């Protein structure tokens, strides 16, 4: 009987061990799979502009100016980047002669974009609001009609006035892509 009990005990222990092994295999066996999205990139745009009169005195360089003189000049703005933009313009000066500071008898300007007048008045106060959209590779032309009023008196003799026109490009708003 002792042998029988021993065999029964061994058989029971073997079955328990077999059950644990079978259960352990079931809980640790998993199938797995993977998937990837390779080669993703973001590349930012390049906002770049230029104009065809980038050097000192390219836009205007007039000597011996007298009251009543006028000058017509054009400048072409180019989008040399790879994203569309709008641009604005402003004027500044380092000197401050009567040609600049006298907003009635000093230098005057009318600025046109095509046939549309976008500014008229004293050169000192010139400010151009945003243009329409200029696409990458596109251009826009501004025409400047400068004038020295015939009402300017003797106090305007022998003056020299410098000025700089600054064009500022602004990217278009970002979009959902």
**79, 134 contact by CB (below 8 A):** yes
73 is a domain residue: yes
- Structural domain includes residue 35: no
Sign of CA dihedral 101, 102, 106, 108: positive
62: CATH? 2.60.40
* Total domains in the fold of the chain: 1
- Which bin fits 49, alpha (ψ -120 to 50), beta or left (φ > 0)? beta
pLDDT in tens, 92-139: 999 899 999 999 999 999 999 999 999 999 999 999 999 999 999 999
Whether 174 maps to a domain, the answer reads no
pLDDT 10s digits, 43-67 = 999 999 999 999 999 999 999 999 9
41, part of any domain: no
The model scores a pTM over 0.85: no
Give me the domain span that covers residue 77.
49-169
């Amino acid at each position: 009987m002792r042998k029988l009990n021993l065999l029964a005990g061994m058989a029971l222990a073997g079955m328990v061990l077999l059950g644990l092994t079978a259960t352990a295999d079931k809980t640790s066996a998993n199938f797995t799979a993977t998937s990837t999205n390779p080669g993703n990139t973001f590349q930012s745009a390049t906002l770049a502009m230029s104009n065809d009169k980038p050097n000192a005195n390219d836009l205007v360089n007039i000597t011996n100016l007298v009251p009543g003189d006028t000058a017509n000049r054009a400048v072409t703005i180019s989008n040399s980047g790879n994203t569309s933009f709008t641009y604005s313009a402003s004027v500044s000066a380092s000197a401050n002669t009567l040609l600049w500071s006298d907003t009635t008898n000093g230098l005057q300007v009318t600025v046109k974009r095509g046939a549309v007048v976008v500014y008229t008045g004293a050169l000192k106060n010139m400010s151009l609001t945003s243009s329409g959209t200029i696409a990458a590779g596109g251009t826009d032309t501004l025409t400047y009609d400068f004038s020295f009023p015939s009402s300017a008196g003797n106090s305007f003799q022998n003056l020299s006035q410098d000025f700089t026109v600054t064009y500022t490009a602004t990217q278009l708003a970002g979009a959902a892509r």
